[in-house]
């Protein structure tokens, strides 16, 4: 009898799994729709318009302000409300639906929100960044050029250098990431910067991260280091000097090197070259390299709420770079060991990345 019950339970579970699969598959068939609709919401400025208007805004008011078709806008808002991005509110003054903001919709505002991710979404949904995904399977079959290079004719850095508008989009997206990650660093890892007087931010973009660090830790003098065409757009910030160069050639001297979301763009060989230059730039007795990168959890490790994001980022590296990848703890230990660091510490923070401190 027990054997029969087990078999019936197994069959029941298989039926349930099959029914669930028939529902789940639609997420993959129309997975692109969410990105496209959210992108349109950013481009239309829906979140900013609601925020400016006040607590809520009716469909007719929103359509009039944006210059949109009310029927089309209603359908867009219905989709976004269903996903919890905006809220629908009832108003006694009008029969027209009314909408209000949520914490998620405020992250779609292009200005006025410290943790806005609008620029990041606009970058990842731009034609040059979307086109490589069509060549992902070809990349998996061979070790040739990256899908980005195959789709756009040159690698992502050459393309950015030749296309100023795309370069600005990258810089704005990286500034988005910097504001989120550095806020987490300041909150959870402030002791990392104790006793440090000078910091060079390698691949610091337009200086957002370093500007935030110097403001949080005013005893630090910062050097924002990136390619010349990048730092020429960097903002002037008190306590920060902008310096153009190539991290594969040399890194400016400082007590500490800060390098965030750079190494995942490169394979192990290039990472080792970059980190050797970073190691040469710091004092042997008290220097350190502060790496801010994702650490992929192994299968038997406890996953956190951002584990899935890290795995998606690994797919982004495969699509957009030739050798880049997100690394497990063992893979980070291999790279750091090849550079010759004597020891390291790894600290999770409330972000996609962790803080890895590497000591000479």
Catalytic residue among 293, 298, 333, 357: 293
Place of tokens 């909150």: 187
How many Å apart are CA 265 and CA 323, to the nearest integer?
Answer: 7
Catalytic residue among 149, 172, 241, 326: 326
Say whether 326 is catalytic: yes
Place of tokens 């944006």: 66
Say whether 293 is catalytic: yes
Catalytic residue among 264, 280, 320, 357: 264
Q: Phi, psi (5° rounding) for residue 306?
A: -110, 10
CA distances from 258 to 242, 287, 294 (A): 14, 11, 15
Beta bridge partners of 244: 226
Strand ranges, E, within the chain: 57-58, 87-89, 98-100, 198-202, 221-226, 240-244, 256-260, 288-293, 295-296, 327-328, 343-348, 354-359
Place of tokens 């019950």: 5
Radius of gyration of the chain (CA): 24
Say whether 48 is catalytic: no
| CB contact at 8 A, 133 and 139 | no
CA distances from 238 to 218, 219, 241, 262 (A): 10, 12, 8, 24
Of 261, 297, 102, the C-alpha closest to 181 is 261
Catalytic residue IDs: 264, 293, 326
């Amino acid at each position: 009898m027990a054997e029969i019950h087990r078999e019936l339970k197994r069959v029941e579970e298989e039926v349930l799994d099959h029914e669930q699969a028939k529902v789940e598959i639609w997420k993959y068939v129309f997975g692109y729709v969410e990105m496209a609709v959210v992108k349109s919401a950013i481009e239309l400025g829906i979140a900013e318009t609601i925020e400016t208007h006040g607590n809520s805004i009716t469909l007719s008011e929103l359509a009039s302000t944006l210059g949109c078709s009310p029927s089309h806008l209603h359908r867009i808002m219905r989709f976004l409300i269903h996903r919890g991005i905006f809220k629908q509110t009832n108003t006694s003054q009008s029969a027209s639906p009314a909408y209000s903001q949520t914490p998620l919709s405020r992250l779609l505002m292009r200005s006025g929100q410290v943790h806005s991710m609008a620029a990041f979404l606009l970058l990842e949904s731009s034609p040059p960044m979307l086109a490589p995904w069509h060549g992902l399977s070809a990349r998996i079959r061979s070790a040739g050029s990256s899908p980005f290079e195959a789709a756009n004719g040159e690698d992502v850095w050459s393309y950015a250098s030749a296309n100023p508008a795309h370069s600005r989009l990258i810089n704005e997206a990286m500034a988005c990431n910097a504001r989120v990650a550095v806020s987490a660093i300041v909150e959870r890892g402030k002791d990392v910067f104790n006793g440090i007087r000078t910091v060079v931010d390698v691949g610091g973009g337009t200086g957002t991260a370093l500007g935030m660090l110097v403001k949080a830790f005013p005893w630090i003098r910062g050097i924002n280091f990136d390619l010349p065409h990048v730092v020429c757009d960097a903002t002037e910030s008190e306590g920060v000097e902008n310096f153009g160069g190539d991290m594969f050639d040399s890194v400016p001297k400082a007590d500490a090197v800060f390098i965030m979301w750079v190494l995942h763009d490169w394979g192990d060989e290039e990472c080792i070259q970059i980190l050797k230059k970073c190691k040469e730039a710091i004092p042997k007795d008290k220097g350190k390299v502060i790496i801010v990168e994702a650490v992929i959890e192994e299968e038997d490790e406890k996953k956190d709420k951002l584990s899935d994001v890290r795995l998606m980022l690994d797919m982004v590296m495969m699509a957009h770079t030739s050798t880049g990848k997100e690394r497990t703890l063992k893979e980070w230990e291999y790279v750091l060991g090849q550079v010759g660091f004597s020891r390291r510490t790894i600290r999770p923070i409330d972000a996609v990345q962790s803080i890895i401190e590497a000591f000479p």
